[in-house]
Amino acid sequence: MTSFIIRRLLQLPLVLLAVIVVTFALVWLIPGNPMLQEGRQPPPEVVEAMNRQYQLDSPVRFLGGYLSRVTGVGWVLGWNEKPFDLGPSMRHPDWTVNEIISAGFPISATIGLGAIAIALVIGTIAGLIGGLRPGSWLDAATQTIALVGISVPSFVTGSLLIVLLAAKFRIFPIAGWGTPAHALLPMLTLSLPFAAYIARLLRFGLVEQMSTNHLRTALAKGLSRRQAAWRHALKNAFLPVLSFLGPATAVAMTGSFVVEKVFAIPGLGRHFVDAVLGKDITLVMGVVLVYAVLLILLNLVVDVLYAWIDPRIDLAASGTR
């Protein structure tokens, strides 16, 4: 397992390099100029000077300078560059991308991790109910609720929760950020689609496991369905959920821009949307880079947990999934 982890970590720089190049190419092709903003129309000569300052006059020069800063090569070579510098924000001249991510990521990560925890509780309970009683009215009810949770957009769910729990009953603040109470409604809103997927995956996994020969043997020996599921089926039935949790956690931690917009939360997702709309190239690339690192590391954690839960999986032989 150690060699597998080392090999995956050695692959990380190459994957991130590909992510940077592809993201840069896509963002560069977006129409517009980040130097021209609503309410700020500098003269053409000023725009030209700013383009030279931010290296927007040459895509090759821009990408070369960006890679030099991000990788720390320029710092190693003594080019008076900070290591792992994501550059200045083009739409927020008083902020660097590092500062924006440092300010927004903890907020998004708090909401995301809380949402995943809530989703695990709700989804596991619903999946167990449906998986242990397939075909029952409880199974039908949980599957219907899960389908609704997947289908209804987050902005609709968030708006309904604001109207009911914040405006009408005044249990939670309507929007904003600053206290633990401000985080609960966004967490709940963000958790519902994840909980629905977890419930469906766990339910189908349990139904499949309960029909295997060794589970039938356990039931024939006198174990109840609940005991057999807990002792023998749940661990294997949870593997699809574990596989889903890797990318889901990365998505949740980097911020859902819909939820952050609805609840006026200054998280990373909100900054990302504003950066795309304003063609803030450095900020877009910085957020995508953070997301890519999280996705790769969380998938690595999932692979390791796979082998821990099911020792039959040989990571060294199978390589990457």
> pLDDT of 48-106, one tens digit each?
787 787 788 888 988 888 888 888 777 777 666 677 888 888 888 788 999 999 999 99
Which of 196, 189, 197 is closest to 258 using CA atoms? 189
- Residue 320: pLDDT band (50, 70, 90) is very low
Cβ contacts of 304 within 8 Å, gap of 6 or more: 1, 5, 315
Maximum C-alpha span of the chain = 85
The fold of 104-312 is MetI-like fold (1.10.3720)
Report the amino acid identity of residue 146: A
Task: Please check whether residue 190 is in contact with residue 111, taking contact to mean a CB–CB distance below 8 angstroms.
Answer: yes
Find the range with the poorest average confidence among 42-46, 108-112, 243-247.
42-46
pLDDT tier at 315, thresholds 50, 70, 90: low
DSSP letter for each residue of 292-314: HHHHHHHHHHHHHHHHHH-TT--
For 249-255, what is the mean pLDDT? 83
Q: What is the rounded CA–CA span in Å between residue 257 and residue 108?
A: 10
pLDDT at residue 80 in the model: 65
Give residue limits of the domains in the chain.
104-312
**Measured distance CA(229)–CA(99) in Å, rounded:** 48
Tell me the pTM.
0.83
Both tokens of 314, joined, read 């040989």
